[in-house]
Every structure is written in C-alpha cells, then in structure tokens.
Amino acid sequence: MSIAFLLAGLALGLPLPPQQSPAAPPAIRAFVGARILPIGGPPIERGVLVVADGKIRAVGALDAVEVPGDAEVIDVAGKVLMPGLVCTHSHVGEPWGADSSGPIQPEVSSVDSVDATAASVHRARAGGLTTINAMPGSGHLISGQTVYLKLREGKTVEDLAYRRADGAFDGGLKMANGTNPQRSSGPFPGTRAKSAALVRQSFLDAIAYRDKIAAAGDDAAKRPARDLGLEVLVEALAGTRVVHHHTHRADDIMTVLRLAEEFGLRVVLHHVSEGWKVADEIAKANVACSIILIDSPGGKLEAAGLAYDTGAVLAKAGVLVAVHTDDFITDSRLFLRSAAFAVRGGMGREQALEAVTLAGAKMLDLADRVGSLEVGKDADFIVLDGDPLSVYTRVHQTWVEGEKVFDLADPADRLIAEGGPGAGDRRPGVNCCAAIAGWEAAR
C-alpha cells in the first residue's frame, strides 16, 4: 500500500487497514516418551527429542531435558525413535548416467537425470530413508557422478540435493569392475586386465591435465582446453570426490585397492560379495565397505560368494561397514530388514544399526549433519512401532529437517508403504479422455 493512499485515508477519516501480524516464529517440537536410539550413544528408555529450525536442539532422558514452554509436544510413548536411515547405494529417482558410447564417462552427472517426484522417492521415505547416494548403474568402468540427496519434500533435484560449501552439488564418482562393464568388443573391455588398464590410463591423463593447469598458472593461453571428464577425475585424485566402486570378487576387490593406492583415491567398496575372503587386506588399506544383503540367492555368477556373515567378518577386521539397498535390488521400504540380516550373520546389534545410519553418513562425508541424534545435527529421524530389527516393526513417521514427510496414518502415505508397482505415482494412469479423481488437487 502506498504512502499517498494512507495519507488520503487519514484525511478522509477512513479507518486504517489492519496491520499484518509478524511472521510466526519457527515451530519448536518436542517428541516425548519414546525409546530413543541416538546411535551416537546408549539407548534412552524414556526420552525427549526437541527440534527447532530444522535442527536437533536437545536430546536426552525425560527427567533431564527441559521441554520449552512454547513447544508443540508430540506424545510418542511406546514408540522407538532413531535417526533417519542413510543408504549409500541407491537408484531411487532413476539417476542414470553414462550411455553406450564408451566405458569411461566421468563427465555425466546423476543430477541431470534424477526425477525428484518419482514414486521410488516416496517409497524410500516410507522405509525411513532420509539420505541417499543416488548413483548411475554399474555397466561402465566409470559411469558418472553420484548425487547425495536429502529426501525432503520437493519437485526438483535442486530441492533435494546436498550442496558443498561452494554451492556445487555434493556427490561422489561411480566406478565398477568385474563382468558388468565388460563387453565382447570395443570400446568396452573384454577382460579384467583391460578394464584396469583403461582406468589407469584415464587417471594418468587426469594427472597430466592437472599438471598442465598448474604449470600454466594465470596464463590462460597456456592452459589446456577444458575437459569436463578430466576435471572430475582430478577431484577424485585430490580426494574431494569419493569413489564409490562396485566390485564383487576378491580379485576385483584387490584390483580396486591397488588402483586406490597408486592414485591416492578415497574409495568406498560397494557390494563386496567376497569381501570376507580379503577382509584383512581391506582393513589394512583403511577402506570402507558398503554391503548388500539379499534374502534370495541367485543373480550374477560373480556374486555367488555373497554371504550373510560378510558384514561381521569385515567389522571384526576393523573395517567401517554400511549396508545399502541398491534399490530396486532390495526395496527401500524394507531397508531395516537388511540390518537384521547382518545381525543374523553375526554382526553386533549396535554395529548393524550404525550400518544403516552413521556408518553410511561417514562414507558420504555427511556425519557432521546426519546419521545420529545429536545436538546441532539435522532433525532427520523416524518413529517406529517396535524394535527396528523385528520383521513386525513398521515405520510410522519419517521426519526430515523437522518436517514430516511420511505418515503411515495418512491413507495416501499408507498406499505408498504397502502398494505394489505404481504405488505412489503422482499420476497413476491417464489418456486424452481420462479424468483422474483428485489428481488436479494433488498437483
């Protein structure tokens, strides 16, 4: 409203319009009475979690934490509350990368293919996942850049993506060896030895590219032409971009460790079906492992050595171990079941719960924000109706940065949690003449 309009109103004796009330302060919520599993410390039998401005303000026993007077108190007595789950290896959102033109394509990014509105994103929230490493497939030696996503509500990848300090999208580099990236004819490799040779040459090219840029200094005329792929490999050489490496057989695992040592790469080994064979070597290399546990045997021959006790063997050797979904190899809605499988294989209960939370956060360099319930961290957590390792337990609520993104009591969310293919699709079926009841309102 203009100053002139206000003055005219005063001159005519008209009443002034009502003043707009100031914006309401950020909501403070206190979740009271649950058994809290903070992961970073011992269980709290009757606990309180206080969240404000998307962060954890306080967490502790009911008689030790003061609930702010202006807090919205949410009774979660009889429930279990724990950090949101972290999946270090996911294809939720369909983040496909490289194409069939060649085996090494670090220049492509999952950012450019993630569908933030995909049904798979909603299903992941239903399973209690709040952070994922969305990555391309394993059909290439280097299939592109991964992107770390926080599963808050949003319509675009920009709404979900973690950012680095400089504002760039945060993520790693997906690599693979073994049979997946092999082909019978070029330009893809036909053998394991050729696979390693191609990767080695790519990093040597990146070193030469890096050194030319350094030697050129401020002289733009001496700098090499910009190469998007080599730029990404230079980040991997510098350790600012973690290499997430698909690998199964023990000999393939050792190849990755050799390349990591040769080029100083920060590597997380993924799947490691035969990791139990070379656990001591992995531990000596100080390399973390993200493993998958499936309830049905089969699949590729090189994964025949997959064992339930891999996590236990690796952990005993001193390896940091996370568990992942590889969604849709295993359904994100059943992610906690994978932690239970790890316990069945001999992993300790606390280690298994850490494997789906804090261990994964460490592998993504996000442990300062997520993975455990600690003051100052993001308010990402889930509410369960029982022991997280019980097959009977269900995720009742998922919260991201203090906002509820899944609620089993909501019929639409329940459909996502329980439905089959297509459950959660924003527009489940349409043609030129169809009218989808309620769709327009849900847009």
In angstroms, the CA 280 to CA 165 distance is 35
The answer as to whether 289 is a domain residue is yes
The answer as to whether 147 is a domain residue is yes
Q: What are phi and psi of 183, to 5 degrees?
A: -135, 170
Burial track 277-294 (b if 16+ CB lie within 10 A, e otherwise): bbbeebbebebbbbbbbe
On average, the pLDDT of the chain sits at 91
The answer as to whether 7 is a domain residue is no
Residues 170 and 163: beta-carbon distance below 8 Å: yes
Res. 23 pLDDT band, cuts 50 70 90: low
Q: Which residue has the tokens 């600690």?
A: 374
Range of the domain at 128: 84-372
Residues 272 and 254: beta-carbon distance below 8 Å: no
Cα 99 off chain centre by: 23
The answer as to whether 342 is a domain residue is yes
pLDDT given at position 40: 87
In angstroms, the CA 419 to CA 433 distance is 26
The answer as to whether 107 is a domain residue is yes
Sign, Cα dihedral of 207, 212, 217, 219: negative
The three-point CA angle 400-388-162 to 5° equals 25
The answer as to whether 317 is a domain residue is yes
Query: What tokens appear for 32 in the block?
Result: 């009271």
Beta pairing partners, 87 = 132
Res. 429 pLDDT band, cuts 50 70 90: low
Query: Does the structure show a pLDDT above 60 at 442?
Result: no
Query: Does the structure show a pLDDT above 90 at 432?
Result: no
Between 24-33, 365-374, 411-420, the lowest mean confidence (pLDDT) is in: 24-33
In angstroms, the CA 46 to CA 62 distance is 6
Query: Does the structure show a pLDDT above 80 at 145?
Result: yes
**AA letter at 339:** A
CATH code, 163: 3.20.20.140
The answer as to whether 74 is a domain residue is no
Flag whether the pTM goes above 0.85. yes
The answer as to whether 168 is a domain residue is yes
The three-point CA angle 124-130-136 to 5° equals 65
User: What length is written for the chain?
Assistant: 443
Domains held by the chain: number: 1
